Each structure stands twice: as C-alpha cells, then as structure tokens.
Structure 1
C-alpha cells in the first residue's frame, strides 16, 4: 500500500510537472506572439528629418504613441478610411506651397480628419483659433466660417508652416510650433540653448506632439504591421462634385439645395463652411459651392 501511495504521488508530480511544462511553453508562445504584434520601426523620420531612436527617451516616447494609437482600434480604422477622401484634397495643396507631404499627418492628429471643435474654440480639420485663422486669410463670421473649408484651411495651415520653417529652419520644430506656438517654442530654444526638437524639454502636450504625428504616419503607412487590415472597398470614396459659383445672396439655403437637385443636409455636408440657413454675399464677392453628382 505504501508503494502504491508513493507511486500515486510520483504520478501526480509528473502530471503537475507536465502541466507546468506546457504552461511555460504556452507562455513562451504567447511572448513570441506579443513580440510579433508589437512591431517597432528600425528608423523613422518627419519630413526627411530623422528621429534619433538610439536615444532611449526618444525611443520610449515613440513607443508610447505607437502603443496608444495601435490600440485605439475603431478610431484608427476610421482615420484610415477618412484619409482616402481627405488626403487627395490636402496633398496637392501641401505640394503647391512647398510643404512636405508628412504634414498631412499633422491634420490627422489635430482632428482625426473631421471638423471638430476644441474646448478652447479651435475648429475644423486644421484646428484654427479665430484670430489665427483670420491672420492666415480665412473668413470667419456667423454666416461663413472657412475653418470648416478643407481646401482653404489647408492653404491657411501652409502659410503658417511656411512662416514657422522660415523662423526655425526645421520642419520638426515648425510642426511643434503648430501646437506650442512661435513664442512658446522659441522661448524654450533661447532658454535651453538647443535647437533640436528632440533635445528640448517642452510642455507635455508639445513634447508628445511630433511623436503622435510620427506614430500615425507609421501606422497609416504600414497598417498590416500594426494589425490593421482595411480593404480598399471599405475606404470612404471621393464623391464626385460639380462646383457652383454664387455671386448673389441666397435667402434660403434649403430652397437653393432643392434647386440643385439635393437636400439641405447634403448641401451642408459638402459645404460645412456655410454656418447659417442663408448666405449673404457682398458686392464683388464670390463663393464656390460643391454639389455632389452621386453618392446620395
């Protein structure tokens, strides 16, 4: 009986040992799978200016933003879908003004490529405050707000970025100043005695800003590496439109929309810069509206 008991104990120990062995093997397999999922780029740049990933602080800050955005599943998928419609508008304007193509990702982190309103009052895809928008040539009032006009607000952003690059001589610092302001970034450059974004100690938001841009650029350029698979048929399509020049006031935009073969909702979707139910047009002024040809 004693021998039987010992044999049973040994058998139990073998089973437990085997189970532990299997668990260890499973854990190793899980670790390998995690490592496979958590892809990290060997190198990355913003507008041709390399990020020094050999510096641990820089590596970890990029890692943080990659992990955050790679795990915002629905939000990131929506951004990828919207980009198919928004980037064809943004890209040629950036090129026209000599602004690097990477700045389209700045618009991504500012708004997710939709016309949002910040708690501070910034509006549109490029998130202009009223005074800054007016300084860059946007019309902003109760009737018309061109911060909601993707093409015109992109042009305004380009004008700002041209000025920022002329001041700092760095596209990375120009991007940082879009968040921290000319004065805020320049003050820290003067105080700290360094002229490289990656060497500066900035406010938490501005310190994260370029890394957020880099993370979205990386994920959107290599979505499969970060477990995002969006089929071409799932991307939001560019909707063909015709343009209508308006040189006289329109007292009722709902009536105008029906005259164009659409409804008020569709008119406002395609012309979100229209902020009232009417459009007042001053002498010599012209507005151009987009009227969709299909998709509704």
Structure 2
C-alpha cells in the first residue's frame, strides 16, 4: 500500500509533464515555419509613400513644410487603410465622375473639385449630415436656396446631382472671386466664406496651410488631396480593383412631367419600373406626390434596364 501511494505521487506528475511536452512538440511541428525575411510575408502594413510634389486645382502643396507633409500623411493613412470604404469609392467613381466632370468643365471649375464632392458625400446622392446638409454636395437648406435650388416638402434639388453640381460651381466661383485661391475656396466650402475670412483677418494670414482653424477644416483640403491621390492611382496604394468589378454608368432617358402626380408608385409602373428603382434615380423627389403649377418644368431620369 505504501509503495502504491509513492508510485502514484511520482508517476502522475511525470505523465502529465510528458503529455504536455508531446502536445507542444506536435503543435510545433504542425505550425508553418515563419519566413526569416519579413518582406516575404503575405501581409504587411507599411507607411504610405508621400509624393515629392502634389497640387490641388493647379496650386502646389508646400510639402517642404514638415507640418504640411505630416498632415497629408495623416489623411493618406486614414484613407489608404480604410479598405472597405476606399474600395467602394474606387468602384463608384466610374458611375458618378462622368456626370459631374462635364459640368465642372463647362462651368470653368478645375476638375480636382470632383474630389471635394467625394469628401463631402462619399458618392452618396442621399447623404445627409448631422447638421442637415444634404445631397451629393452637402448643401445646407439656406445656401441651397441662395444658389437657386428648390427645397420644399415635395422637391429637394440638393439631391439632384446635376443641378446641385451647377449650384456648387456657382458657390465656388463666388468664393474664388473673394479669396483668389482655390485652396481657400475649398476650405470655405467646409467652414463658410465668413468663417475663413474671419480667421484670416484675426491671424493676418492668407495662406491656408499656415492658418490656425477648426480641426475639421484644417484637415479638409488634405482629405480631398488624399482622395485625389488614391483615386488617381489606386495601385500605388495597394488597391487593385478590376474594371469588371467597377460600377458602370446606367443609361437613362429623361422624361418631362407635364402635370401633377398623384402617386409616383403608379407613375413608376407606367414607366416599367418599381417605385424603389424610380426613386433611386430621382432622389430629389421627396414625396410620393408632386404638385405641378406649370411655372417650372421637371424632368425625371428613367433608367434603361
């Protein structure tokens, strides 16, 4: 009996240790060998390359200033590693850029301002901010009315991409007449002309890159620049999206509404569409009805599916 007790006291720990050692050996043999050269690993997270030169709307960024370079680096990192959202933007660009690019060109606005629209709404025509700015270009209601957009319970042209783009162009031209700098124009789109001018006066400073301003506006132009750099050259930032995976332009025809509409669900069916698809292509129609006075002509987009 005494011998059995001693054997038990000695053998159980030995067996347990032996089993643990065996399991660890098996796990070790099953684990793939780590590559000695870190560059051969499949996944690496690296710093984003900052270009030596960059410009917005033809105006050079002063990247020789360390704080400008680091501010751009911050926004490039934020967007280059926000994979799901950035891939989505790359996919959507071929659908929406062909709509706004010709309008910018016709209105004499630099093509780079299309990236401002991306920064504002992320290619979401229905976007609305906590402050109630709405649409592709994120107009506040008062500003929208000032620039000729109709905003009421039935119609809100802030959600009309073409009309809102033209209104945005009018704002940008007014701001450029005031500031004489497209970079300050972009900043004012976020902060407002009055807000930017106030800080310029207080600080006796007319250079956006040396202007102390709210965090959102201070990051705003850099965010636009980061989106420009990535969307212009996605592969450079490790985004590989095949053409077949990008969203194409959906061909549409314009149909004029010649009278009041009692029910857009019925109207959509007459056009061979579901109510959902009709509203997706005409988000500026806010209700199921439209009161037609004859004073203004309305055209709806009918997708050719």
> How far apart are the structure 2 equivalents of 1:284 and 1:181?
32
Report the alpha carbon displacement of residue 247 of structure 1 after superposing the two structures with TM.
Answer: 2.1
Provide the rounded CA distance (Å) in 1 between the counterparts of 2:269 and 2:137: 31
Where do 4+ consecutive residues of structure 1 move more than 3 Å? Answer: 22-30
Q: Distance in 1 between matches of 2:220 and 2:249?
A: 29
CA contact (8 A) 1:250 1:280 kept: yes
Alpha-carbon distance in structure 2 between the residues aligned to 1:291 and 1:29: 51
Name stretches of at least 5 consecutive residues in structure 1 with no aligned partner.
1-21
CA contact (8 A) 1:201 1:207 kept: yes
SS of 1:123 mapped into structure 2: coil
2:90 to 66, 71, 80: 80
> What is the deviation of 1:111?
0.8
Match of 1:89 among 90, 94, 99: 99
Matching residue within 135, 138, 155 for 1:127: 138
CA displacement at 1:26 relative to structure 2: 3.5
Q: 1:264 to 1:189 in 2, by over 3 A?
A: same
Structure 2 residue aligned with 1:11: none
Matched, 1:241 2:252: yes
Alignment of 1:133-282 (within 5 A): 133-282=144-293
CA distance in 1, matches of 2:148, 2:39: 59
Q: What are the superposed Cα offsets for residues 124-177 of structure 1, whole Å, 9 maximum, x if unpaired?
A: 110011001010110001100001100000011001000000000000000000
* Structure 2 equivalent of residue 8 of structure 1: none
Native 8 Å contact 1:123 1:147 kept in 2: yes
- Among 106, 110, 113, the residue aligned to 1:103: 113
The 5 Å alignment of 1:28-107 reads 38-107=48-117
**Secondary structure at 1:245's aligned position in 2?**
strand
Q: Is the 8 A contact 1:270 1:290 kept in 2?
A: yes
Unpaired segments ≥5 residues, structure 2: 1-32
Asked if the contact 2:191–2:217 (Cα under 8 Å) also holds between the matched residues in 1, the reply is yes
Task: Give the whole-Å Cα distance in 2 for the aligned partners of 1:66 and 1:122.
Answer: 25
Aligned pair count? 270
TM-score, with normalisation over the residues of structure 1?
Answer: 0.88
Would the aligned equivalents of 1:254 and 1:277 in 2 still touch at CA under 8 Å?
A: yes
The CA distance in 2 between the partners of 1:209 and 1:251, in whole Å, is 43
Q: Deviations over 1:39-60 (max 9, x none)?
A: 2211110001000111000000
**For 1:83-110, what per-residue CA distance to the aligned partner results, in whole angstroms no more than 9, with x for missing partners?**
1111111101111111100000000011
Contact residue 50 and residue 69 of structure 2 kept, 8 A: no
Q: 1:24 to 1:59 in 2, by over 3 A?
A: farther
| In 2: Cα distance, 1:28 partner to 1:266 partner | 48
Contact 1:247 1:285 in 2 (8 A): no
Note the C-alpha offset of 1:23.
Answer: 9.3
Partner-residue secondary structure (3-state), 2:219:
helix
